[in-house]
């Protein structure tokens, strides 16, 4: 018996109808990451100007970075910015849920966002390797104690007082 698997074509982007503001999504992200049982520390948002922001946090003293960029060429850049924040909130929520089930730790699930010595994420480094970049990529991680959050171009806004 043969079954033809068909994939549903999505007619609209995820979170298309969201009316939830980026600020509300950031607050939700903050609340998710702020749970004491996860061991996530130094949660910090950096405004990069326009519809661009960056989230930094540490897991086991290792630095992670998630960039949120909504291009001005998007049909509705404000809506895109809101959707990206919703997507990150759900990514983190689902990563935590999978980790709670014991598959692996949150840090392992989010390894693509882990910072390397070259101030890029592991995901960016792997994609450069795949693309055949002539620039060498070092996948060595900075020692956790010395991996500092880079200063943002428009300043860093701490989400909360450090623990």
Q: Which of 39-48, 134-143, 154-163 has the highest mean pLDDT?
A: 39-48
Residue that the structure tokens 């806004």 belong to = 157
Which tens digit of pLDDT belongs to each residue from 37-94? 898 999 999 999 888 999 999 998 899 999 999 888 878 888 889 999 999 999 999 9
Name the residue ranges covered by the structural domains of the chain: 22-158
**Cβ neighbour number for residue 162 with a 10 Å cutoff:** 9
Please name every residue paired with 121 in a beta bridge, in sequence order, or none if there are none.
Answer: 115
Kindly report each contact of residues 40-43 with a partner whose C-beta sits within 8 Å and lies 24 or more positions away, as own/partner: 40/106, 41/162, 41/163, 42/149, 42/162, 43/159, 43/160
Residue 137 has pLDDT above 90, yes or no: no
**Residues in contact with 58: Cβ distance below 8 Å, sequence separation at least 6, in sequence order:** 40, 41, 42, 64, 144
Alpha carbon separation from 41 to 61, 149, 152, 159 (Å, rounded): 8, 12, 18, 11
Virtual CA dihedral for 141, 146, 152, 155, nearest 10 degrees? Answer: 160
Q: What is the mean pLDDT of residues 22-30?
A: 93
Q: What is the mean pLDDT of residues 113-142?
A: 75
Residue 139 has pLDDT above 50, yes or no: yes
């Amino acid at each position: 018996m043969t079954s033809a698997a068909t994939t549903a074509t999505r007619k609209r982007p995820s979170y298309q109808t969201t009316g939830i503001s980026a600020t509300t999504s950031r607050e939700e992200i903050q609340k998710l990451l702020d749970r004491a049982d996860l061991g996530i520390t130094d949660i910090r948002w950096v405004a990069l100007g326009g519809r661009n922001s960056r989230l930094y946090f540490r897991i086991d003293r290792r630095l992670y970075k998630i960039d949120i960029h909504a291009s001005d060429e998007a049909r509705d850049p404000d809506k895109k910015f809101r959707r990206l924040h919703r997507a990150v909130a759900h990514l983190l929520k689902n990563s935590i849920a999978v980790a709670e089930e014991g598959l692996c730790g949150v840090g392992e699930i989010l390894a693509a966002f882990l910072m390397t010595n070259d101030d890029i994420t592991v995901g960016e480094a792997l994609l450069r390797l795949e693309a055949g970049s002539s620039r060498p990529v070092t996948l060595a991680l900075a020692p956790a104690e010395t991996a500092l959050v880079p200063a943002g171009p428009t300043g860093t806004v701490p989400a909360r007082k450090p623990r």
